[in-house]
Structure 1
Amino acid sequence: MTLKACLIADTNQGGYGHGFDTAFIGYDEIDFAALADPDEKGRQQAVEKTGVPRSYADYREMLEKEKPDLVAIAPRWPIHHKEYLLAAASVGAHGYLEKPVAVDLAEVDEMVRAIEAKGLKWSVGFQISLAPSFLHAKKLIRDGLIGEVLEVRARGKEDRRAGGEDLIVLGIHLFDGLISLFGNPQSCSSFIYTDGEPSQPKDVVHPTEPLGPIVGNRLIANYTFANALPISFQSLQHDQRVESRFGISVYGSKGILKVLWGFPAPFRHIVNSSWLDLDGEGWKPLPDSPSDQDNLDNHSRNRDVVTDLLAAIREDRLPEVSLQRARWAHEMIQGAFASHVAGATVQFPLENRKHPLIDWS
């Protein structure tokens, strides 16, 4: 069966995301029929790039006329994601959504309810979580390469967006990876600082890209997962000239496995219970690790996600990087803000689904 696909984009409000304009190209089972972008210049450029036969200024008109089976929601900015997805769900479309999913959990909840009411499958753009090297590392951890997992440390990209913005834009990738590896989080205790002092309501700002309110340029969030597994996420604004630490370090009873987030994702490990390279052999690549050389462009990375989405539709199962799983990543984001505001540990799922910084005073 061939699925008709459409793309929703907005050149001036988050653009076409990370290669979402070509996400539905190259599949025998997908007919990429139309795209929508209110910006005329951006729309024409996208038509020329993709070769899509029809284009619209208004995504609502496109959905009404095309009645697609699949929709890609491309803009990086999440401020309109809910309205886009609800409109797509209303015509019965499955889909692929750029991250972050939405501004707060209340919006994410509404989006999940809309797709579950119609049995629709939606994936979110966490490409690394489906990269062959990541899936191989996941298997090795579960097979005991580094023994029993004792703790996990994650760090954001720590660039000019360090702190609250890093938590939302880059941390969400790590959170989806952590949930894939270790299941859903149970609680969060966080501390957020602005220029070295505990962040206060006066420090709340809105970032360059509209993501909702943020606070802090240093963030320390400690999460508890199943079996009391401690997982931390930290982000600190620092000298941009250093090598990035953006990634995850898994500390086990027999050694450490580290991954720096990116393509190709450099996975390394040491096998020593002291967590030191005492034998002098250095950090080694993972045994029998597959190459990510075929995943160096956005189209190839998105292909892993879309291929799984198509399989999920055929098999009537959740996609691996489902909207439902992404909601847990948003719990981790909102939980970090909520814990700091409350000055206490918060439990998941959060009771208050609205953004905790909006009414902080």
Structure 2
Amino acid sequence: MSDQYRVCIVGCGRMGGTIDEEVKGSKHRSLPYSHAAGYTAYPQTTVVAAADVFEEKAQYVCSKWNIPKYYLDYREMIEKEKPEIISIATRPGNHAEITGFAAEHGVKGIYCDKPLCASMEEADTMYDVCVRHNVKFNLGTQRRFSPGYLKMREIIESGEIGDRRSVIAYSGGSALWGYTHAADMLLFLAGDSDVDYVQGDVDVDDNDFEDNRTESDPPIVMGYIQFRNGTRGISIPGSAYEFEVDCSDGIVRSLNNGLGFQLRKRHGQFNEILDTDFPDYEHKSGTVGCIADIVEAIDIDRETEGNIRLARISTEITLGIVDSQRQKGARVYIPMGNRSLYLGRW
């Protein structure tokens, strides 16, 4: 156990250190939000350096968060600074490369911003290297570390509203950049179950699949996930990132991107599903929760809550839905065979 963990940040863009300026004053109570802000707020982490290929970005983030050193090459930074934890806040094209280098150079924990990567080949590489080196890994899908969503899952797992039947995501967006959040929450609210198969409808020109690599990050319109524990996952177009879990004796739902939560239970003379008070919970930053989870996992050598196995599953949900579109809407059984399918040009 360490009183202080040395941290290095790779990527000094929006999520690396500037998004807090955008969301300041938001009703979502998500601050601290960026990686740099989260580490600054958490008492057991100290950011010792940051790296970016654009010097002005590195300089700005280091100045804003009082980070003493910046580098233009993340490899040099890791070799010289010897951090216990790194953040990866770059675009997904080099996440596998950075993860491998960090794991092989003694890094104990990795906080990787979403999306995980752009193909299942890359996801497999990241999984293998993290398992081999016992790296405590979290993907930056912070809802699973946010107290309101944790309370949702607590209600479901307690059996208070009966047996879980389906999980619905009212959200959409591009596969990697947006749907990553939906896939992770569907997985989280389904109890982090393994997946049997997926199907989907994706807004992409079929000709874009000719070289097994799409030119863009295609929008997912609808998705279906058959979880191994029997839960059915469904995503449909929505505008507020809302998630609903339907159980045999009630329904629990997040509202307006987590601004509120709704609980309905079966009761009364006619067994109606009626509104019930959602339990109180403490509002905390999901970013800080993600960081705290990595630190505790290193301290006591346990698995993290958003670990590389779960990150690979949610990524395979997303890529499997896109591959379903490539196969004219066919079921894609997991593990999917087309592991070289690559989304976007990063």
> TM-score over 0.5 for the alignment?
yes
Q: Does 1:111 align with 2:121?
A: no
Name the CA shift for 1:345/1:211 in 2 (closer, same or farther; >3 Å): closer
Q: Does 1:340 align with 2:343?
A: no
Q: 2:101 aligns with which of 87, 91, 94?
A: 87
Q: 1:224 aligns with which of 199, 203, 226?
A: 226
Structure 1 residue 263 displacement after superposition: 4.6
* Amino acid of the structure 1 residue aligned with 2:299: R
Structure 1 residue 245 displacement after superposition: 3.8
Equivalence for 1:289: 280
Deviations 1:298-352 (A, max 9, x none): xx33110111111111121210011221110001001101122223211112122
Equivalence for 1:311: 296
Equivalence for 2:152: 137
Equivalence for 1:68: 83
Equivalence for 1:33: 48
- d(CA) in 2 for partners of 1:284 and 1:211? 46
Deviations 1:128-177 (A, max 9, x none): 10112211111111222322222222121x4xxx4xx1x32232222222
Name the CA shift for 1:334/1:111 in 2 (closer, same or farther; >3 Å): same
- d(CA) in 2 for partners of 1:277 and 1:41? 62
Structure 1 residue 262 displacement after superposition: 3.1
Name the CA shift for 1:212/1:323 in 2 (closer, same or farther; >3 Å): farther
Structure 1 gap segments, 5+ residues each: 205-209, 237-243
User: How large is the RMSD of aligned CA atoms in angstroms?
Assistant: 3.0
- d(CA) in 2 for partners of 1:356 and 1:100? 13
Normalising by structure 2, report the TM-score: 0.83
Q: Does 1:172 align with 2:171?
A: no
Contact map agreement 2:145 2:287 (CA 8 A) in 1: no
Contact map agreement 2:7 2:48 (CA 8 A) in 1: yes
Name the CA shift for 1:72/1:227 in 2 (closer, same or farther; >3 Å): closer
Structure 1 residue 40 displacement after superposition: 2.1
Q: Does 1:269 align with 2:266?
A: no
Contact map agreement 1:21 1:74 (CA 8 A) in 2: no
Q: Does 1:47 align with 2:56?
A: no
Structure 1 residue 187 displacement after superposition: 0.7
- d(CA) in 2 for partners of 1:226 and 1:170? 24
Name the CA shift for 1:13/1:27 in 2 (closer, same or farther; >3 Å): closer
Structure 1 residue 272 displacement after superposition: 3.8
- d(CA) in 2 for partners of 1:127 and 1:277? 36
- d(CA) in 2 for partners of 1:79 and 1:113? 18
- d(CA) in 2 for partners of 1:81 and 1:291? 33
Q: 1:151 aligns with which of 149, 157, 166?
A: 166
Equivalence for 2:308: 323
Structure 1 residue 193 displacement after superposition: 4.6
Q: Secondary structure at the match of 1:136?
A: helix
- d(CA) in 1 for partners of 2:302 and 2:94? 27
Contact map agreement 1:22 1:50 (CA 8 A) in 2: yes
* Amino acid of the structure 2 residue aligned with 1:354: S
* Amino acid of the structure 1 residue aligned with 2:94: H
* Amino acid of the structure 2 residue aligned with 1:255: G
**Aligned residues between the structures:** 322
Contact map agreement 1:186 1:348 (CA 8 A) in 2: yes
